[in-house]
Structure 1
């Protein structure tokens, strides 16, 4: 890694890592149809079937691989933003609820919208742009005072107070073993649901992409004399940075997020092309456009408040056992289930 840093520099290497991780994530997520919204819709119907199996495979594989990498001294996440910086429990709760409701209204979370856009879905593309602009407003624009107020209602300092191992006195080996058991059970359940083996494998590859993001950025940070943030897959922040960079700046500073978003798009595009599923999909007469826009707004603000999207906060942050990430994903489930049930009410 030192030779690569000397030859290319940290920025271009982070860009390349983001692109590689993004390609794997995009192709695997498209083929497996990994989607938290679909899993919550299934559970809201009282079913525990194929979409739940796919989501559990992804989550448990990411958790197992990250914890195994830490046990093997291949990774140290103590300096990750999700653990080291001040977190917000109020942000995780309120933001999680808003994001969960929004992804139901928009029929997809931030990552799913990006992946569907790559296959020609203009509904997803439009909603994704609304989400990204709202996230930018929440981060640095007119919605930032509201976000900061809600964030400050209930904060938790960085360090042991944000790490589930320290809070509950858990053993990392035990966590890894439990994750492996859940992963095996989800594979068995998916097989019984007649999910294609390639889709089961692709769901695990989504988890692998998330763990690779952590390990590769950590490897670069460990070898660099510069301060390099270790990170992995998340979508709202990188999507916002990518869009704003291309709009406002003649030169885009290379980093992980700038490589990740195009990488995911390219991976999903190639998967859709290979499967013969590229086609333009528009808003139609029976498709309520305002519902998608409202969903994008709720997800954009909610993700910035919660510290990430369903992948960034839920899976990526959950894999390193960040307290706020687990709370955020719990309330995303609650918000999504409540919205699913309310939409079915006459």
Structure 2
């Protein structure tokens, strides 16, 4: 089937369709589950382990289980994925992760959450997301690129086994999938204890499943294509940058997985918001100062490019294949977010009566 599709439409178009499908599933599930790393870190920083944390844990464990089970069954090979095969930056993962974590607290959402909220009519998310994307582009190829490269060069790690957490731990994919399965059951039990609705728990599983679907589809296309196709899964900063630059710089946008992913997520989240009656216009106001969001967007834009991905790109997609830098990055995102939330809460000045 893939061969026929690629013969008829070409590899780029098929990759775009795969991205759109994965994005649609992710957008629908993320909107319904209220999937958000920032919300989970806020609960932890306040000492309240509640439903937002449980949703993130379900999604993360589901992603790890599905991806590692697919590898163990022989359906997937991620050894050539950029997060494992290429040279990585541990300094980038640490510094970029801390910056991203701080930024998502200030902007009240990570890159994926901002895209999902944009589809529901949240104008704050649209403006913040655009600034994030522009800063990410400047960090990748523009004026901020030299700074990013200097920071990334501080501590490098070779690709291959040195960058695989499973290799360091001496674990197989079968063992990793088994551990993730127990983690998923524990997360579901925890979520049930928080009285999270069943549909939201299922949606959280679908968020993790979408990550696995991305890896599986791009791998299948890479195996079928005569051209070199990079296998990848869900990430938002890079694809959002490519999509925006393609729209403003060219009359013909290069087709690929990321080009389909971003509109797919937007469409899925928008459809779910409309179906649930949750779509509404939200603007900046006295309680939501624009400068806080813009600072957060700048930190996330630069931080995600330095860390090698956003909360989903590094934390979920990279984490599911056990890339060392991805696990370090998502850990630092948690640390940066918790510290920033506590600082902002302590510095908050009470409003006069």
> Which residue of the partner structure matches residue 85 of structure 1?
86
1:179-238 deviation digits (Å, cap 9, x = unpaired): 001101111111111111100000000001000000011001001110001010000000
Q: CA deviation at 1:278?
A: 1.0
What pairs up with 1:117-196 in 2 under 5 angstroms? 117-196=118-197
* Cα separation, 1, equivalents of 2:48 and 2:61: 20
In the TM superposition, what is the alpha-carbon distance from 1:106 to its structure 2 partner? 0.3
- Whole-angstrom CA distance in 2 between matches of 1:130 and 1:257: 19
Where structure 2 has 5 or more consecutive residues not aligned to the other structure, the ranges are: 348-353
Q: For 1:132 and 1:311, how far apart are their aligned partners in 2?
A: 15
The residue that corresponds to 2:212 in the other structure is 211
Aligned-pair CA distance for 1:166: 1.2
The answer for the alignment partner of 1:288 in structure 2 is 289
Aligned partner of 1:14 in structure 2 is: 15
**1:293 Cα offset (Å):** 0.2
After the TM superposition, which segments of 4 or more aligned residues of structure 1 sit over 3 Å from their partners? none
Shift of residue 9, structure 1, vs aligned partner: 1.2
SS at match of 2:281: coil
The match for 2:351 is none
Aligned length: 346
> 1:28 maps to which residue?
29
1:289-328 paired onto structure 2 within 5 Å: 289-328=290-329
Task: Spell out the pairing of 1:233-312 with structure 2 (5 A cutoff).
Answer: 233-312=234-313
Q: Tell me how far 1:287 sits from its aligned partner.
A: 1.7
| Secondary structure of the structure 1 residue equivalent to 2:312 | helix
Mapped to 1, the partners of 2:304 and 2:204 lie a distance apart of 23
Match of 1:45 in 2: 46
Distance 1:168 1:62 in 2: 19
Deviations along 1:259-286, whole A, 9 cap, x unmatched?
0000000000000000001111000123
Q: 1:286 to 1:165 in 2, by over 3 A?
A: closer
Structure 1 Cα separation of the partners of residues 179 and 49 of structure 2: 20
Partner of 2:225: 224
C-alpha displacement of 1:172? 2.1
Hey, what's the Cα distance between the residues in 2 that align with 1:111 and 1:174? 30
What is the CA distance between 1:141 and its match in structure 2?
Answer: 0.5
Query: Could you say what the CA RMSD is over the residues aligned between the two structures, in angstroms?
Result: 0.7
CA distance in 1, matches of 2:173, 2:250: 44
What is the TM-score when the length of structure 1 is the normalising length?
0.99
Alpha-carbon separation, structure 2, partners of 1:221 and 1:193: 42
CA distance in 1, matches of 2:269, 2:92: 31
SS class of match (2:151):
helix
TM-score between the two structures when normalised by the length of structure 2: 0.97
Give per-residue Cα distances to partners, 1:26-54, cap 9 Å, x unaligned. 01000000000000000001111101100
Worse-matched range after superposition: 167-176 or 233-242: 167-176
User: The residue matched to 1:310 in structure 2 has which SS?
Assistant: coil
| 1:119 CA drift (Å) | 0.2
1:122 Cα deviation (Å)?
0.3
Matches of 1:338 and 1:88, distance apart in 2: 23
Aligned counterparts of 1:216 and 1:345: Cα–Cα separation in 2: 46
Secondary structure at 1:219's aligned position in 2?
helix
Rounded to whole Å, the distance in 2 between the matches of 1:4 and 1:218 is 15
